[in-house]
Amino acid sequence: MLSRRSFVRTLGAGAAASSLAPLLHGRGLEAMAFDDLERVAAWRGDPQLIRLDSNENPNGPAKAAIVAVRDAMREASLYPRDRVAALRDAIAAAQGIPAEGVVLGAGSAEVLRAAVFAFCGPDRPLVTAIPSYEAPQRDAALVRAPVRGIPVTGDMHLDLDAMAAAAPGAGLVFLCNPNNPTGTLHGTEAVAACLARITREAPATTILVDEAYHEYVADPRYASALPTAIAQPNVIVSRTFSKIYGIAGLRVGYAMGQPATIAKLRAQVLPLAINQFGAIAAHACLQQPGLVEKERDGNRAALEWTTAEFRRLGHTVADSHANFVLVDLKRDAQPFREACRAAGVLVGRGFAPLTTHVRISIGTAREMERAMERFRRILATA
């Protein structure tokens, strides 16, 4: 794997600039905020800035992905139909499902929006955890769909029983597992029971299981909900290449399920939304044996060390199975965020109603050591 700075050097300034696109296009319904302008300026002006705010892979893309993109620059004049079809087919083959059961989008954000557009409306609410990944809530506003927000439990897990109870009459239940920003996980049996209850009590409701952090999970209690999605028309599974594969800037996500269900999402996504280089890089990532295991192990070591350090300082940390931790500072977290920014460390945005909590992405082992030194100073003087 290459670092972010190596990525820029290898790909060249022009191509690397395209990796800034997500920062320059806003998030969900939000226009680009001043906060984002500051982040871009700070990144360019300070190569020592430690970015622990967006759950990105600090190692960058696999070398094979960068080489594949570099070698394909001559294809920039071509529409990406063939490359996108090849990626779709590769995902389908890897999962043992028909190609018609896969839809690609510009990051998982696009397929999540497609699901909200396809299944929600003024009389078809969205059910989601609070807090969870916010994009579906913002997208629900576009179709004037009410949101039934279900608070997480005291130990930061999704309240699956309450979410299932809220499902009747809803258009879509959004179930993020592991959940962002808590990082907590529900095992196979718990998820299966929740999906079965929703299917039984709300057969007209679609369930989207967001597995953006699927590849980071090592817990033997966990398994993907994909088998249920293949078997049942009311279940969809979404994933992304933004996290463990390290190509967040190239925007490639996908959803899987029964072909007829996936066709409803495909009708909502933008044609040719996946660019040539995103498809090429993602395809190259899939062909790298041992890549996922290597990234998972490195992340787990840094995550466990970071968790232990915060707990040693007396803070509560949710049990995370992703590439970030959620830390309860036991006081308003905003001054801590501001102090971290001033000290050269970017940490995650706030997630209401958890105003005393801060989400910290996991960087390299060295980045976490450097960041922890600053966290200790800030917490000691606050």
Low-confidence ranges of the chain (pLDDT < 50): 1-35
The alpha carbons of the chain give a radius of gyration, in whole angstroms, of: 20
pLDDT at 48: 80
- Burial (CB count within 10 angstroms: exposed 0-12, middle 13-18, buried 19+), residue 312: exposed
pLDDT at 36: 55
Q: Is the peptide bond before 353 cis (omega within 30 degrees of 0)?
A: yes
Q: Is the pTM of this model over 0.95?
A: no
CA 54 to chain centre: 9
pLDDT at 15: 37
The pLDDT tens digits of the residues spanning 114-124 come to: 999 999 999 99
**Residue among 204, 203, 229 nearest 214 (CA):** 229
pLDDT at 5: 39
HSE, side-chain direction, 13 A CA sphere, residue 288: 21
DSSP for 75-112?
GGGS-SHHHHHHHHHHHHHHHTS-GGGEEEESHHHHHH
Indicate the DSSP class of residue 215.
Answer: G
pLDDT at 272: 87
What is the C-alpha to C-alpha distance for residues 337 and 355, in angstroms, rounded to an integer? 11
CA 29 to chain centre: 17
